Amino acid sequence: MQVFKLCLKILKKNILTLLIYVIVFLGVAAIMASSSASEQVKDASFKQSKANIALLCEENTPLTAGLKQELAKIAHFVELSDKTEALQDALYFRTVSYILRIPKGFSEKIMNGEQIQLQKTVIPNSFSNAYIDLTIDQYLNSARLYVEQIEDISQESLVQYLKQDLAANTAIELKINEKQAAHQSISNYFFNYLAFSILSILILGLSTLMLVFNNQDLQRRNACAPLSTTNFNRQFVLAVLVFTVLSWLIMAVLCLSFTLKYGININTLYLLLNSLVFATCAASIGYLIGNLVKSPNAIPAISNVITLGLSFISGVFVPIELLGSTVLKCASFTPTYWFVIANNHIASLTNFNYTNLQPVLASMLIQIGFAIAFFAAALVLGKHRRLQ
């Protein structure tokens, strides 16, 4: 096992450099994951907020008073001057998001069953405005139904009917398992950040290893040694596998140590499996780079460019939701992107049937495809290098 022991000695010599990325992982992941996860859990509960609305009413009747009373359930009324400049400024500075004008003759037309279009000025794409539109439409449509069905109904009676009907609400209770939500969110962040460290460690370690064994003088000495090529390759592959699995195991244990207080569930097991698949892919990248570099000084530079670049465009450091479509298209050609996609999907799963797991398994297969492609390219480059 001379080759295997030599590989371990080379890796041991660079242990301090590799530990730097473990420390970086612990620091960054602990800070970012804990803060981001706490915000997600806090925001998980739903509470409807009231929009600011300006109501410009040109008549004062029981019907308009009833409409205002209904709108008060979902909106805050802001007093504004009925001047074009003042109204435009209020919308521009977001003092209000909705300006509603009730014209003179509104109540009379409603009581006669006529159609009437209220004038509104709104901030575009404001979701809170949809609740206001829905309340207004519901109030007016219900009023028309009563006018059509009950002859000579007074405004006061109509408002009372509408008040009783619109007071009926369905109670909605959103139950959230905060412990489980925190566990899945924190685990998701930790395993996403694991991509940066495991990629850095494996690229540095395996590139250094390949650089040593690709030395021409060493290759000639090995060719003269009483050790068959098959035995040499077997020991070398074993050393690479041990280093890859050991690196993954250390990072996985660190991830679990921070989330162990929440327990281990099925999501965690799939996150571990996905990280192992990515570690295999990272090892193939390190193997490929080791066949490309010719100087030990170039390895840290190449490693930093690749790991930081992939981490920034693939959703490790910046959430995928905040990245542009062009960036995501480019990132889809990298294994880190599919690693993060699988992690995010795993963290959101509650039912682990085949249909729900299909996107996760597809992402893992894509990572394996990348690993095979990188490994094949490394073999071609290695053979070309030996023939030179």
DSSP sequence for 117-147: --EEEE-TT-HHHHHHHHHHHHHHHHHHHHH
What's the average model confidence in pLDDT over 216-229? Answer: 66
**Domain end residue (candidates: 166, 193, 211):** 166
User: Are residues 135 and 278 located together in one domain of the fold?
Assistant: no
Average model confidence (pLDDT) across the chain: 81
Are 381 and 357 a contacting pair, CB within 8 Å?
A: no
243 located within any domain? yes
pLDDT at 339: 93
User: Are residues 33 and 136 located together in one domain of the fold?
Assistant: no
Question: Is this model's pTM higher than 0.85 or not?
Answer: no
**Domain end residue (candidates: 99, 132, 166):** 166
342 located within any domain? yes
What's the average model confidence in pLDDT over 7-13? Answer: 80
For the chain, how many structural domains are there in total? 2
What residue spans of 126-265 are helical by DSSP H? 127-149, 155-166, 178-213, 216-224, 229-259
173 located within any domain? no
User: Are residues 274 and 332 located together in one domain of the fold?
Assistant: yes
User: Are residues 267 and 343 located together in one domain of the fold?
Assistant: yes
Question: Tell me, what CATH number does 153's domain have?
Answer: 3.40.190
Residues 92-102 have pLDDT tens digits of 888 888 999 98
Closest CA to 139 of 75, 194, 68, 204: 68
Residue span of the structural domain in which 95 resides = 51-166
User: Are residues 362 and 218 located together in one domain of the fold?
Assistant: yes
Q: Which positions ≥6 away from 4 have C-beta within 8 Å? A: 235, 236, 238, 239
**Domain end residue (candidates: 137, 166, 195):** 166
User: Are residues 189 and 154 located together in one domain of the fold?
Assistant: no
Residues 62-114 have pLDDT tens digits of 888 988 888 888 888 988 888 888 888 888 888 888 999 988 888 888 888 88
Residues 290-337 have pLDDT tens digits of 888 888 888 888 888 888 898 889 888 888 888 888 988 998 999 999
Are 373 and 288 a contacting pair, CB within 8 Å?
A: no
Rounded CA-CA distance 330/338 in Å is 12
User: Are residues 291 and 191 located together in one domain of the fold?
Assistant: yes
User: Are residues 78 and 97 located together in one domain of the fold?
Assistant: yes
